[in-house]
Amino acid sequence: MATDGWLAETRISYDTVAASYADQVRDALDDKPYLRNALTLFADLVRATGGGPVADVGCGPGHITAYLRDLGVDAFGVDLSPGMIEVARREHPGLRFAVGSMTELPLADASVAGLLAFWSVIHIPDELIPAVFTHFRRALRPGGPLLVGFHVGEGSRLKTEGYGGHPMKVHVHRRRPDQVAERLREAGFTVEATLTLSPYAEVPGGVVFARR
């Protein structure tokens, strides 16, 4: 699959579902205590290194960005989809959001104190994960924490409908926590912790904490 092709399909898909997606995830953390605590720990780690701007990469409609700001973190969002950024700016007018792709991350070297990729690397093909993680490390300050959330499993599937029944065309990639941790180590990160959520669910969740 050509890089431009899957990126364009992903962008168009999320532009199409932006409003419906925002409606579905607005209160998504309410019944997820482990994710809330993971975000709280991430915010604590950012503060422990001196604080500073934190990038929510693949921020969607900005609900996680806003949650981090409520935790006292100077978070801003970046997303591939202009439609998602429009919704994020409308729903969270006091926060900063910008259009950008994690494959060409529009952040200066060592410019952020922390970086979050919360279920946003799930659309990145395996062969591009090393480059994306290298961008993450480049953008982080030395010692800065990284939190990556993803679908746990094997293989990929094509998602053709979602979020209110709208048509989509996005590939969803599932990965094992040890695979993600190894790719992070290869990119120069120190992996500090992994967490598997709902391990017996059809699609478990995975969280990896790492540090530049």
Query: Angle at Cα 59 formed by Cα 57 and Cα 60, nearest 5°?
Result: 140
* Model confidence band, residue 4 (pLDDT cutoffs 50, 70, 90): low
For the entire predicted model, the pTM comes to 0.94
Q: What is the pLDDT of residues 155-212, one digit of tens each?
A: 999 988 878 778 889 999 999 999 999 999 999 999 999 999 998 898 999 999 999 9
Q: Each residue of 20-64: pLDDT tens digit?
A: 999 999 999 999 999 999 999 999 999 999 999 999 999 999 999
Burial 158-175 (b: 16+ CB within 10 A, else e): eeeebbeeeebbbbbbbb
Alpha-carbon distance of 106 to 31, in angstroms, equals: 33
93 in helix, strand or coil? Answer: coil
In the chain, pLDDT over 90 holds for what percent of residues? 90
- Mapped onto helix, strand or coil, the DSSP state of residue 59 is coil
Contacts of residue 122, defined as CB under 8 A and 6 or more positions apart, other chains included, come to 150, 151, 172, 173, 174
Question: What does the mean pLDDT of the chain come to?
Answer: 94
What integer pLDDT is reported at residue 163 of this predicted model?
Answer: 80
Token duo for residue 165 = 């029944």
111 DSSP assignment? -
Give the per-residue pLDDT at 168. 85
The least confident of 19-23, 66-70, 110-114, 182-186 is 19-23
